[in-house]
Amino acid sequence: MQETVPLLQVEQVSKSFGSNQVANEVCFSMSKGEIGCLLGPSGCGKTTLLRVIAGFEAIDRGQVHIGGKIVSTSNLSVPPEKRSIGMVFQDYALFPHLTAIQNIEFGIRNKASRLRKEKVKTMLDLVGMTEVANKYPHELSGGQQQRVALARALAPEPELLLLDEPFSNLDALLRDRLTVEVRDILKDLGTTALMVTHNQHEAFSVADKIGVLFYGTMQQWGCAYDVYHRPASLEVATFVGDGALIRGRVTGPGQVQSGLGLLKGNLSLPCESGCDVDLLVRPEDVLHLDEAQVQAKVIHKSFRGPNILYQLELPSGEQCRALVSSHHNHTIGEYIGIFPEVDNLVVFPRKLQESPSE
């Protein structure tokens, strides 16, 4: 049993705007120094949850603890300025009338001048923005604004840093670089942080723990590996990664018969023999071998440099995808041999009358 108090604890939080339930009995917790990420399609309630934790929204039921103290219940809401949180906003929310330095100083204005100067300098060094210290936000590029916003949020040394889609306004290249950088900075400082994003690659590269939210319900809270390879629900399985679902039938312990042939591995659910299931097949699970038994027809292909993503039609008429080295260049309409290599068989019991779809 873990004895230390979690730094952030969200207990059965429910919240609705009118008839729209944006958080439904959400539970999760984070220990000190962890980086968490709330992942989900837009409108799933993840930003609302972040704003609940920040103290901008009241909750209908449940509790939120930060650092062991209760900050939100159905009839109490500690104001944001008293929660010891820092926040990085989607469009940075830098104060346009203050320079980069003044923005960073804003949260530590009550500290002694010497301490303040030192802190600002440390922060500027940390985010690599020393040379633009005296510029105004409108004179900074998107990436620079983002770094200043991060420095501003971190300067007061908050117990918990909240990041609301922090990279969504940046171009892809910069985003990849900054996600890694931000993770390094947060880990260096040992800051506990919770980020919200709809981009799973961001989540994978930054977070220790990922929470997948759908329609206000926390589907899964776990590490990236689990979320990807052991999705807890059909929604998670289809939202994370680009897997396909194909029909299968459990024929024995750890055995599933499907359009890809007989698959053996650890079943994600204890299923009895003869049970009809939907099986998750990731593109990297499907290997290409010319002489393989199963021959599938190429429907679509997209060239991705090192590999090609093929959309294939199985003999059973179902479709799946295969990620194949780009040396194997096949044309559309051609039949290619494939075989599955799946260790963890992610299966979901099939509901009646429901045809499997992507």
Binding another protein (rule: CB under 8 A), the pick from 8, 87, 101, 182 is 87
Element (H, E) at 149: helix 142-154
Contact 44, 216 (CB under 8 A): yes
Contact 148, 131 (CB under 8 A): no
The reply to whether 226 sits near another protein by the rule CB under 8 A is: no
End-to-end CA distance of the chain: 40
Site string for another protein, 16-35 (x = CB under 8 A): -x------------------
Strand partners, 36: 194, 209
Stretch binding another protein (CB under 8 A), from 93-101, 123-131, 195-203, 272-280: 93-101
The reply to whether 54 sits near another protein by the rule CB under 8 A is: yes
SS3 state of residue 95: coil
The reply to whether 303 sits near another protein by the rule CB under 8 A is: no
The reply to whether 327 sits near another protein by the rule CB under 8 A is: no
Contact 190, 33 (CB under 8 A): yes
Binding another protein (rule: CB under 8 A), the pick from 6, 62, 86, 283 is 86
Least Cβ distance, residue 45 to another protein (angstroms): 14
Strand partners, 76: 73
Least Cβ distance, residue 158 to another protein (angstroms): 8
Q: Which long-range contacts (CB under 8 A, 24 or more apart) does 251-254 make?
A: 254/345
Cα–Cα distance between 227 and 21 in angstroms, integer? 24
Beta strands, E only, 215-332? 217-222, 244-252, 255-258, 261-264, 266-267, 276-281, 286-288, 294-303, 307-313, 319-325
Binding another protein (rule: CB under 8 A), the pick from 152, 175, 198, 350 is 152
The reply to whether 333 sits near another protein by the rule CB under 8 A is: no
User: Other C-beta atoms within 10 Å of 113: how many?
Assistant: 8
Backbone angles phi, psi at 171, to 5 degrees: -75, 160
Q: Which is nearer to another protein, 119 or 350 (CB)?
A: 119
Binding another protein (rule: CB under 8 A), the pick from 21, 73, 77, 80 is 80
Site string for another protein, 159-198 (x = CB under 8 A): ---x------------------------------------
Strand partners, 16: 21
Binding to another protein, residues 128-147 (CB under 8 A)? 136-138
The reply to whether 96 sits near another protein by the rule CB under 8 A is: yes
Contacts of 12 (CB under 8 A, 6+ apart): 25, 26, 27, 61, 62, 63
The reply to whether 97 sits near another protein by the rule CB under 8 A is: yes
Least Cβ distance, residue 113 to another protein (angstroms): 17
Binding another protein (rule: CB under 8 A), the pick from 61, 63, 67, 91 is 91
Least Cβ distance, residue 87 to another protein (angstroms): 4
Binding another protein (rule: CB under 8 A), the pick from 89, 215, 335, 339 is 89
> Which residue ranges make up the site for another protein (CB under 8 A)?
17, 54-56, 79-81, 85-87, 89, 91, 93-97, 106-107, 110, 136-138, 152-153, 156, 158, 162
